Amino acid sequence: MYLPIVNQKRACVSMLMKSLTLIFFCCGLVGMLSSQPTIQWQKTFGGSSYDEAFDIVQTNDNGYIVAGISISNDGDIFGNHGGDDFWVLKLSNIGSIEWKRSLGGSSNDGVRTLLSTVDGGYIVAGYTASNNYDVSGNHGGISDGWVVKLSSTGAIEWQKALGGSGRDEIWSIQQTLGHGYILAGRSSSNDGDVSSNQGQLDFWVVKIDASGEIQWQKSFGGSKDDLAASVKQTLDGGYIVVGETASSDGDVTGLQGNIDFWVVKLSPSGTLEWQKTLGGNNWDTASDVIQNSDGSYIVVGYVGSGTGDISVYYGLFDYWIVKLSNTGELLWEKTVGGTKPDYARAITPAIGGGYIVAGGSSSTDGDVIGNDGAGEFWVVKISEAGELVWQQTYGGTKNDYGFAIGNTSDNGFVLAGYSWSSDGDLSGSLNRGKSDFCIIKLSPEPSTPTSTPAIPHTLYPNPAHNTITLQAPNAGTTLNVTIYDLLGRILLREEIPNGGQLNIATLQKGVYFVSAEDGDGTVFRGKLEKE
């Protein structure tokens, strides 16, 4: 796709070569456009002040649970306790509000992450500066991490303030295989629930049980700020944590600039197994991570550097996607963006292979095509080899920004963020004042080009209750089977004989991705419905 841009800059090119280049460019552009998902529906929610959605998950009834920050107390919002509140919405499959809940106290309380839990309820997490109304147990510092467990109807089942006398926040949560939770964020405390601090803010990782009681917690970092943004459980039962570091001492080695991606691999008990800094000479921040079925990792974020590990830099901030081996070795890296700020916030696997990355873009050049205004949701697909497959902007003429993306049971996607617009792709939406929650439901990809074969093996029954049987065409091999939820979280990993059964009784009702690798290293993918 970049050939025409390069060729146009060459001083001595024949008219014939220019014409051929233009033809190839146009054909490539038509192919890219034909692969992009389209908007099936979009909704905005909020009041007259600032309301921003940070996370979204599809629920078992094919609806959606959304969480973010709200300052409003009018429009769609009632019950604000003061300052910022957690605001949680349960939506139907077409985006209608089924219930809504403001959570917090009289000071600022901010959501960063949420999950649909195996018992059919939900858990939301972030930070709180309050110690009244819905919040109790605050340790009295700048802020505590705050975790709230909700029932399927939004009633509070339990809440937990975690921290010490400093600044403590939760930015990521995942339910673990034992039905507890792993939390990651940042902490400057050295007391209360926090047993150590390396200096300023540290990565803070906390393991809690299903009732919110701390099982263990660890701080990692150096003498400067180290900020964790995302945590996932890994195939070996441990954890991968990503974020940013400004340190070059303590647990951190290899800092290349002012701020680097920092990737930390932990054992199941929270012991540091390895760490990796990635970046260049400026500011580079990791936002999210997923693990592949072969144990490798895809890390996404945004970079302001053009040196070190970063081979291409367009300007200000660009999306940066990195593939690491299971031991942290850099396998490939890809920059996408334009000359204005482009912030990658979230990644999810694509059903046909490759990866979907979402965030926000203010660019109107480079890889960014179709931006209508100051900022838009920007979604890109990257192949398994690290190549740009397609890109699409969604929004209007004002500032619109994406924070989260999830797969949906119809093979489409759902986006969450905020919007100031009521035109362009958001025509028909009502902006109630300043920023509103913005939810965009996307269709499946019209085509899913991928380096991974489609699923020629048999998976049955499907839908299934307690067991499934997998049969690959290469008789006599074993199959390494991995089951993911729609967010790309690994829920089950097991080796079975070819043609053998896999017990899925512990999975709750819903739709899952299945990845099966045979003895020759061929990977097959499919979708499973659990009844």
Same domain? For 312 and 406 the reply is yes
What does the pLDDT look like over 138-166, one tens digit per residue? Answer: 999 999 999 999 999 999 999 999 999 99
Same domain? For 227 and 321 the reply is yes
Same domain? For 320 and 469 the reply is no
Query: Concatenated DSSP letters for 122-157?
Result: EEEEEEE---STT-----SSSBEEEEEEE-TTS-EE
Q: Answer yes or no: are the C-beta atoms of 306 and 279 closer than 8 Å.
A: no
Report the C-alpha gap between 212 and 125 in whole angstroms.
12
Report the C-alpha gap between 382 and 320 in whole angstroms.
11
Same domain? For 464 and 428 the reply is no
Looking at the DSSP bridge assignments, the partners of residue 143 are 167
What does the pLDDT look like over 26-49, one tens digit per residue? Answer: 334 334 444 799 999 999 999 999
End-to-end CA distance of the chain: 44
Same domain? For 356 and 477 the reply is no
pLDDT for 127 equals 98
What does the pLDDT look like over 348-377, one tens digit per residue? Answer: 998 778 999 999 999 999 999 999 878 999
* Beta carbons within 10 angstroms of residue 18's beta carbon: 14
Report the C-alpha gap between 503 and 466 in whole angstroms.
6
* Beta carbons within 10 angstroms of residue 177's beta carbon: 13
Answer yes or no: is 412 within a domain. Answer: yes
Answer yes or no: is 27 within a domain. Answer: no
Total count of domains within the chain:
2
Query: Which range has highest mean pLDDT (7-11, 88-92, 489-493)?
Result: 88-92
**Average pLDDT for 256-284:** 97
Same domain? For 168 and 216 the reply is yes
Report the 3 state secondary structure along 258-302.
CEEEEEEEECCCCCEEEEEEECCCCEEEEEEEEECCCCCEEEEEE
Answer yes or no: is 5 within a domain. Answer: no
Instruction: Identify the CATH number of the domain in which residue 493 sits.
Output: 2.60.40.1220
Answer yes or no: is 341 within a domain. Answer: yes
Rg (CA), the chain: 23
Boundaries of domain holding 483: 458-530
Q: How far, in Å, are 349, 420, 489 from residue 373 at the CA level?
A: 28, 11, 34
Burial track 313-329 (b if 16+ CB lie within 10 A, e otherwise): bbbbbbbbbbbbebebe
Query: Which range has highest mean pLDDT (117-121, 123-127, 173-177, 496-500)?
Result: 123-127
Peptide bond into 461 cis (omega under 30): yes
pLDDT for 183 equals 98
The DSSP 8-state label assigned to residue 367 in this structure reads: T
Answer yes or no: is 143 within a domain. Answer: yes
pLDDT for 213 equals 98
What does the pLDDT look like over 468-477, one tens digit per residue? Answer: 998 877 656 7
Token pair listed for 113 = 């992450």
With tokens 């512990």, the residue in question is 506
Answer yes or no: is 14 within a domain. Answer: no
Same domain? For 369 and 426 the reply is yes
Answer yes or no: is 189 within a domain. Answer: yes
Same domain? For 229 and 292 the reply is yes
Domain boundary among 442, 467, 494: 442
* Residue 164 host element (H or E): none
Instruction: Identify the CATH number of the domain in which residue 279 sits.
Output: 2.130.10.10
**CA 94 and chain centroid, separation:** 22
Domain boundary among 399, 414, 442: 442
Token pair listed for 149 = 């467990």
Report the C-alpha gap between 180 and 221 in whole angstroms.
25
Report the C-alpha gap between 417 and 405 in whole angstroms.
9
With tokens 């000359």, the residue in question is 339
Q: How far, in Å, are 110, 159, 242, 337 from residue 124 at the CA level?
A: 10, 10, 20, 31
Answer yes or no: is 18 within a domain. Answer: no
Domain boundary among 411, 442, 473: 442
Same domain? For 183 and 207 the reply is yes
Same domain? For 236 and 358 the reply is yes
Looking at the DSSP bridge assignments, the partners of residue 346 are 358
Peptide bond into 37 cis (omega under 30): no
Same domain? For 296 and 159 the reply is yes
More confident residue, 405 or 458: 405
Report the C-alpha gap between 33 and 25 in whole angstroms.
12
What does the pLDDT look like over 289-311, one tens digit per residue? Answer: 999 888 999 999 999 999 999 99
**Residue 13 reports pLDDT greater than 80:** no
Token pair listed for 200 = 């300023």
Question: Residues in the chain, how many?
Answer: 531
Same domain? For 268 and 167 the reply is yes
